[in-house]
Structure 1
Amino acid sequence: MIETGKKIDTDFELDVVKNGEEKTVNFSELLDRPTIVSVYKRNNTSGCDKQNKSLSEHADWFDKKGYNLVAVSKDTCGSHKNYAEKLDINYVLASDRDYKFAKATDSIVEKKMYGNTYEAPSRSAYVIDTDGTVLGIIEKVNTKDHAHELKELIENL
C-alpha cells in the first residue's frame, strides 16, 4: 500500500456518477480540492451500505471543511445511479472495474471467500491533495463509523 506523503499517478480515467449524471473523467479532475477516496466492494451489501450511509450523513461536514468525497467500487455507473438515489448520496461514485485506483495506490490484496482466493482492492480510504500527494490513509475502514474515523484523520492532518 502507498505511504502517506507519496504521490499517486493520477493520470487514469474512471466512469463516475455525480448529481445523477454519468461521465468519464481523468482522476486528476476529481482533485480540484483535497479529496477523500473511500474504497468499498460493491453496492447493496450490508457493510458497504453502512460505509456509504455514514459518509452520506456527514457529507456536508466534509464539504464545509473543503474536501471532496469520492467512493470507489467495481459497480457500473448504472448501478451507482440507483444506489445514489437509494442512499441519498450526493458525492461522486466512481466505477473502477479495472482497479485503476487500487493499482495507483498499490492496494490490491489477497482475499478469501467461500474457500476461494482472489485479488481485489482493500476496503480503505485515502485523503489525497490536489497534486496527488497522499495526506492520510485508513488501511481498514470501520464500516459503521467511517465518517467519524475520517473526521478524526482530517482533524489530525
Structure 2
Amino acid sequence: MTQDASQEAPRLAPGDAFPDFALQDGDGHTHTLADSAGKYLVLYVYPKDDTPGCTTEACDFRDNLALRQHGAVILGLSRDDADSHRRFAEKHSLPFPLLSDPDATFMRAIGSYGTKVLYGKTSEGVKRSTFLIGPDGRVVKAWYAVKVDGHADAVVKAIDAHRTAHA
C-alpha cells in the first residue's frame, strides 16, 4: 500500500493482497473475497443508489459484454441498505450483487471513504473507486477518483493487459 497525503487511509497498489471482506447484498447473501478465487473480481465503490452518475456506472458495467466474456465477477459497494440495493438492481436489471457497508468500515480500509472536495466544498463521504483483483486475490489495478464515462472499458483493458503479461 502507498500513502497519499490527501488520503486518510492507505491506497491499495498493484501487487497488494486485497483485504478480505464479508459484506451482504440486497438479498441478504454474504459475499467474500474467497468467493471469486480463480477469477477476476471488479469491486466498484459508488456513492449512492439511483443517482445519475451511479446509475450510469452500474449500467455500463451491466452492459459491458467483454467483462462477461472474461468471466469477471462484478460487485458494487455503497453505504446504501439492502432495500435500496434491491430496488436499484431491479429497476436497472443489474445482474450482479450490490454490497452494503453502512458504516463505511471496509470502504475506509481500502481508501474509498474519507475527506473529499466537491465543487470547492470539503466533506466526508464515499470516494468513487474501482479495484480490479486478480484470480490470486492481489490488486491488479486500483482506480481512485473514477470518472464514469469509459470506465468499464478501462477495466476491460486492464484485464487484457494483465492476462497478456501473465500468459
Residues 1:14 and 2:23 aligned together: yes
Partner residue, 2:8: none
Computed over aligned residues only, the root mean square deviation of the Cα atoms, in angstroms, reads: 2.1
Residues 1:53 and 2:63 aligned together: no
8 Å contact from structure 1 (residues 2, 107) kept in 2: no
Partner residue, 1:154: 159
Partner residue, 1:24: 30
State the number of aligned residues.
Answer: 151
Identity over aligned pairs, percent:
26
Distance in 2, matches of 1:127 and 1:151, equals 10
Following superposition of structure 1 onto structure 2, how do residues 34-73 of structure 1 map, counting pairs within 5 Å? 34-58=40-64, 60-73=65-78
Residues 1:75 and 2:80 aligned together: yes
Name which one, 1 or 2, has greater alpha-carbon Rg: 2
Distance in 2, matches of 1:79 and 1:90, equals 16
The verdict on how the C-alpha distance between 1:61 and 1:103 changes in structure 2, with shifts beyond 3 A counting, is same
The verdict on how the C-alpha distance between 1:132 and 1:104 changes in structure 2, with shifts beyond 3 A counting, is farther
What secondary structure is seen at the aligned counterpart in 1 of 2:30?
strand
1:154 positional shift = 1.6
8 Å contact from structure 2 (residues 112, 144) kept in 1: no
What secondary structure is seen at the aligned counterpart in 2 of 1:4?
coil
The verdict on how the C-alpha distance between 1:131 and 1:97 changes in structure 2, with shifts beyond 3 A counting, is farther
The verdict on how the C-alpha distance between 1:101 and 1:85 changes in structure 2, with shifts beyond 3 A counting, is same
Distance in 1, matches of 2:80 and 2:144, equals 21
Structure with more of its chain in strand, by fraction: 1
8 Å contact from structure 1 (residues 70, 94) kept in 2: yes
What secondary structure is seen at the aligned counterpart in 2 of 1:143?
coil
**Deviation larger for 44-53 or 60-69:** 60-69
1:115 positional shift = 7.4
Distance in 2, matches of 1:78 and 1:53, equals 19
8 Å contact from structure 1 (residues 8, 104) kept in 2: no
In structure 1, runs of 5+ residues without a counterpart are none
Distance in 1, matches of 2:107 and 2:136, equals 18
1:130 positional shift = 4.3
Distance in 2, matches of 1:121 and 1:133, equals 23
Aligned counterpart for 1:89 among listed residues 94, 99, 118: 94
